[in-house]
Amino acid sequence: MTDISPESTPGGSDDERVPDDLSSLFADPDRQDLLEKMARLQVRGTRAGMADATTGSEHEIPLPVPPAATVVGGLVFEDDEDQEHEGAAPVPAPRPSSDGWNWQDAFPAGTFDSAVWAHRKRVFLHGLARHAGHSHVYAWRLSRLSGLGVMAGARDGWHYYTAQEYADMVDTARRKNLAPDIVAALREERLEYARARRREPLLVGASTAVLTVVAGAVAVADVYGLLAASPAAMLLLGILSAMGLREHKRRNPDQPLTAAFALPDGAGGEHPPLTDAMLNDVLRTAKVLKEDQEIRLLEPIRAAEINGVEARFRLPKEVTFSQLMAKKEAIAGALDIEERWLDIRKDGSANRVSFWYCTADPFATPRTSPLVDSPERTDVWKRGILIGFNRRGLPIYLKLRHVMALLGGMSRTGKGMLLRNLLCGLGLDPRVNLRLVAGAKPGEHRGYAPVCATFFGRRPIRLIALMEALLAEAYRREEILEDQARAKFGERDLDQFPLEILIIDEFKQYANSPVRIPDPSDDREEGGRTIKASDRIAELLEELGAFAAALNITVAVITQDPDANTIPRGFKSNSGARVATRTGGPIQTNAILKDGATGAGLRAHEIPESIPGGAIVDIDGAPGELIRSFFIEDEEYDGAADIIAAGRALREELGRAPGQFTDPIEDYLMAVTGLSSSGGGPNGSGRPGALDDTAELDERTTVLTLMLDAFAKAGDVDRLRTADLLPLLADLDPETFSYEALGVDEEADGATATYNRQGGKKIAEEIAKALDGTDRELTTSEWTVAPRGRGYLLADVRAAAGIAPE
């Protein structure tokens, strides 16, 4: 949306006053052309503006990007990037006005919709199978009605044949002790009526016809078989059934005639296809509708993804959408499905509903991320990062523009896979400066280093420096916006001001860090106060969250099962994108999503364990929705390797790979610490290091690098026995440290002891080669705490590799 805001008053002698007569703005041809171009641009974003340039089919119309913050005659024209008027979004274009009618409009809605016909076919086949499967029930009920017809016909015939109504009158007269002559007169009258009826042509003809049909059918069956007599038998059966149906209606006047053939409840199968009648019955069963109320379909019911079905309907005026949602559990029970298999949404107004459900778990089958097969460039700004799919099977995108993000949940509930999808998507957009900070197990993130402008492991002090660098960059960008009289950066500014995204994984490790740092508010050089690093991190996090989002700076915090105090309140309040995997309880759910989330139905602690990677997202486009993250292989092999390689190649081609562009954040870290973490540091492992003579450093510390990797693989322990270190080194460099490389027969007796002895010597030899010509050394240490043994301390290995202590 274009913001046209004249300056209120001139602020000084150099300011230009807005003229009362705006006609002067159009006197300059250049200004007039610019205003005309921008007006045309705005109109083209509407249906009316495209009516003269479209053909009636859905296609994409790219919109040119307007110049940034154009000032014309004191008027500021600034595009609002937060509005959803994306230039390349598919727009269903209207037909030209000259051809406003199409022959398809003459047919009912859904006539040419394949999804509608698919559902109709399912309804027809289900009905056919249902009735065929209950043919024995219909045969029995038809036989029972025929028997009832025989009994009723015989009774009524005998009653008429014998004038039975007079018998009733005689019986009544006798009970009332009337005169004998009255009783005798009634009996005489009965005999006369009965004698006359027996001679009536209709009675004689009907009796003769029935007996003839029965006798003929028996004779034909005896001579030619039952098949030949079936027409007569069917005719007789039909007549008797009609008589029985008449008697059934007499006995049950309140029931319709079809009740005699109605199947019992549940005879429609486990999950019959949805119809409008069934939908009304379900809503009445759930106490949403009263008996005299019904919904009205807006379009035919259609088949949907994952064996689902979708119906769009209008509720009665007396029923609101909130009342419908309050009965969601009862509706699921009436449909005999789980509540999470049902999705009900507003469809444009308070009483228009999109009703979707499926008859099987929509999250039962994992889906591989499309990026695995097609690692193409992503559009993080407009479309977002593809992270998973919802219960309807639709893809879910996480937008990280002008927003802070929070993701949390219990261990082993899918946070890692969500982060994996997030990092892969961010790596494929070269306009993003990705800065990844691991609070634990940095080794599992090493594969993302090639696309990370910054990547390092558990280093609270360095994280503080990084956040201070981002804060300084935020202040710099804020000054630029102030000079340009703008409120925020947009997509057109990404070339000059890339989207800075800081991801802090396992934030709880930093929130509980015991490390202390000098108090920045204390100016004393010696003996000054100290504060916890965690307090400084929380302070910086809240400060960035308060204003940096509009400056193309985003912070995403990922933590494990937080409580109410883990996430700084100021940052949480400014987090516009929240994702919660399964949590331990309501407190953790509210800590991740928002206060009162559990009461609003966002119960992440109730996500079933049967949904790996299941999460509740509260993000733009999917508020409070249950999703399952896409799968990217991380155990059998590294499924993200090709995606990261494609992202690296794309960044190198555009000069946006780590180290190829001027990075004020890394420059700040280098100035403060003397170590670089660009691309994960000199060796890409997430360990910051000096950039001087990196080739020689890599060559001299090959074995030390392997040892550091082994420590990371073991979970960043502080010590490793030689017997435990050797298998890890053998996995990393089998040509040097395997049984075969050391000349040890793995099947021989005492092979393990021999291997440990030879391996220990080999490690010492390689360390000596790596440290030759330096003043550093590395020897084994012995410790008595369990488990006792001799080996190497992580601090000693880091010192030997020339890495400064944390």
> Could you tell me where the beta strands, DSSP code E, fall in 630-788?
719-721, 781-783
Question: Do the domain assignments include residue 104?
Answer: no
Whole-structure pTM value: 0.64
**Tokens, residue 776:** 């550093």
Contact 802, 769 (CB under 8 A): no
How far, in Å, CA of 649 to CA of 296, rounded? 55
Domain boundary, last residue among 585, 616, 651: 651
Q: What is the pLDDT of residue 100?
A: 60
Task: Identify whether residues 206 and 68 lie together within a single domain.
Answer: no
Question: Do the domain assignments include residue 698?
Answer: yes
Mind listing the pLDDT tens digit for each residue in 371-394?
999 999 999 999 999 999 999 999
CA separation, residue 146 to residues 92, 151, 250 (Å): 60, 9, 15
Beta bridge partners of 76: 71
Q: Where are the alpha helices (DSSP H) in 674-750?
A: 694-700, 702-713, 722-732, 734-737
DSSP string, 191-221: HHHHHHHHT-HHHHHHHHHHHHHHHHHHHHH
Task: Identify whether residues 395 and 353 lie together within a single domain.
Answer: no
Contact 729, 723 (CB under 8 A): no
The helix or strand, by DSSP H or E, that contains position 314, with its residue range, turns out to be strand 308-314
DSSP string, 152-183: HHHHHHHHHHTTHHHHHHHHHHHHTT--HHHH
How far, in Å, CA of 155 to CA of 769, rounded? 116
In this structure, of 3-12, 698-707, 729-738, the range with the lowest mean pLDDT score is 3-12
Mind listing the pLDDT tens digit for each residue in 48-76?
444 443 334 333 434 444 444 444 444 44
Question: Do the domain assignments include residue 480?
Answer: no
Contact 437, 505 (CB under 8 A): yes
Name 653's Cβ contacts closer than 8 Å, sequence gap at least 6. none
Amino acid at 321: F
Q: What is the pLDDT of residue 645?
A: 94
How far, in Å, CA of 103 to CA of 400, rounded? 45
The helix or strand, by DSSP H or E, that contains position 484, with its residue range, turns out to be helix 460-484
Q: What is the pLDDT of residue 10?
A: 39
Question: Do the domain assignments include residue 116?
Answer: no
Q: Where are the alpha helices (DSSP H) in 268-369?
A: 276-285, 321-326, 328-335
Question: Do the domain assignments include residue 336?
Answer: yes
Task: Identify whether residues 16 and 81 lie together within a single domain.
Answer: yes
Residue 577 C-beta-side C-alpha neighbours within 13 Å: 22
Task: Identify whether residues 537 and 392 lie together within a single domain.
Answer: yes
pLDDT surpasses 90 at 536: yes
Region 407-425: mean pLDDT is 93
CB count within 10 Å of CB 395 equals: 16
Size of the chain in residues? 806
Task: Identify whether residues 351 and 376 lie together within a single domain.
Answer: no
Name 615's Cβ contacts closer than 8 Å, sequence gap at least 6. 388, 409, 414, 418, 579, 580, 581, 582, 604, 607, 626, 627, 628, 629
The candidate with the shortest Cα–Cα distance to 649, out of 659, 641, 657, is: 657
The helix or strand, by DSSP H or E, that contains position 355, with its residue range, turns out to be strand 352-358
Task: Identify whether residues 639 and 500 lie together within a single domain.
Answer: yes
CB count within 10 Å of CB 451 equals: 29
Confidence of residue 124 (pLDDT cuts 50, 70, 90): confident
Residue matched to tokens 């019955």: 281
CA separation, residue 254 to residues 257, 332, 447 (Å): 10, 31, 74
The candidate with the shortest Cα–Cα distance to 429, out of 503, 502, 504, 499, is: 499
The candidate with the shortest Cα–Cα distance to 464, out of 310, 301, 760, 673, is: 673
Contact 359, 341 (CB under 8 A): yes
How far, in Å, CA of 419 to CA of 556, rounded? 10
Contact 292, 310 (CB under 8 A): no
How far, in Å, CA of 300 to CA of 158, rounded? 55
**Tokens, residue 242:** 């009609």
Task: Identify whether residues 54 and 177 lie together within a single domain.
Answer: no
Task: Identify whether residues 451 and 556 lie together within a single domain.
Answer: yes
Confidence of residue 479 (pLDDT cuts 50, 70, 90): very high
Domain boundary, last residue among 308, 338, 358: 358
Higher per-residue confidence, 105 vs 82: 105
Task: Identify whether residues 614 and 709 lie together within a single domain.
Answer: no
Mind listing the pLDDT tens digit for each residue in 587-618?
999 999 988 888 888 899 999 998 999 999 99
How far, in Å, CA of 669 to CA of 671, rounded? 5
Count the helix, strand and coil residues of the chain and give each as a percent rounded to the nearest 5: 45, 15, 40
Region 153-160: mean pLDDT is 75
Higher per-residue confidence, 422 vs 752: 422
Pairing status of strand 90-92 against strand 58-60: antiparallel
Confidence of residue 749 (pLDDT cuts 50, 70, 90): confident
Region 749-756: mean pLDDT is 88
Q: What is the pLDDT of residue 402?
A: 94
Amino acid at 593: L
Kindly report the backbone phi and psi dihedral angles of residue 690, in degrees, each rounded to the nearest multiple of 5, phi listed first: -75, 145
Total number of domains constituting the chain = 5
DSSP helix/strand/coil, 589: helix
How far, in Å, CA of 170 to CA of 182, rounded? 9
Residue matched to tokens 């950039």: 691
Mind listing the pLDDT tens digit for each residue in 292-325?
999 999 888 888 876 789 999 999 999 999 999 9
Give exposure, 689-706, as e/b (b: 16+ Cβ within 10 Å).
bbeeeeeebeebbebbbb
Question: Do the domain assignments include residue 222?
Answer: yes
Q: What is the pLDDT of residue 67?
A: 43
pLDDT surpasses 80 at 574: yes
Q: What is the pLDDT of residue 52?
A: 41
Task: Identify whether residues 184 and 244 lie together within a single domain.
Answer: yes
pLDDT surpasses 50 at 94: no
**Tokens, residue 465:** 């420096």
Task: Identify whether residues 410 and 550 lie together within a single domain.
Answer: yes
**Structural domain of 540:** 370-455+496-524+532-651
pLDDT surpasses 70 at 692: no
Domain boundary, last residue among 260, 295, 323: 260
The helix or strand, by DSSP H or E, that contains position 614, with its residue range, turns out to be strand 614-619
Q: Where are the alpha helices (DSSP H) in 507-567?
A: 507-511, 533-547
Region 103-112: mean pLDDT is 72
**Tokens, residue 652:** 């190198």
Measured torsion, CA atoms of residues 620, 624, 630, 632, in degrees rounded to the nearest 10: 90
pLDDT surpasses 50 at 418: yes
The candidate with the shortest Cα–Cα distance to 274, out of 341, 196, 187, 207, is: 341
Question: Do the domain assignments include residue 451?
Answer: yes
How far, in Å, CA of 79 to CA of 68, rounded? 8
Question: Do the domain assignments include residue 592?
Answer: yes
The helix or strand, by DSSP H or E, that contains position 462, with its residue range, turns out to be helix 460-484
Task: Identify whether residues 86 and 148 lie together within a single domain.
Answer: no
Confidence of residue 430 (pLDDT cuts 50, 70, 90): very high
Mind listing the pLDDT tens digit for each residue in 184-231?
887 777 777 777 777 778 777 877 887 787 787 788 777 877 777 677
Region 342-350: mean pLDDT is 88
Residue 333 C-beta-side C-alpha neighbours within 13 Å: 8
The candidate with the shortest Cα–Cα distance to 414, out of 343, 358, 363, is: 363
Q: What is the pLDDT of residue 82?
A: 53
Q: What is the pLDDT of residue 21?
A: 52
Kindly report the backbone phi and psi dihedral angles of residue 772, in degrees, each rounded to the nearest multiple of 5, phi listed first: -65, 130
Peptide bond into 362 cis (omega under 30): no
Residue 770 C-beta-side C-alpha neighbours within 13 Å: 25
Looking at every residue in the chain, the average pLDDT score rounds to 81
pLDDT surpasses 60 at 85: no
Mind listing the pLDDT tens digit for each residue in 259-295?
766 766 655 556 788 888 899 999 999 999 999 999 9
Contact 385, 422 (CB under 8 A): yes
DSSP helix/strand/coil, 726: helix
pLDDT surpasses 50 at 47: no
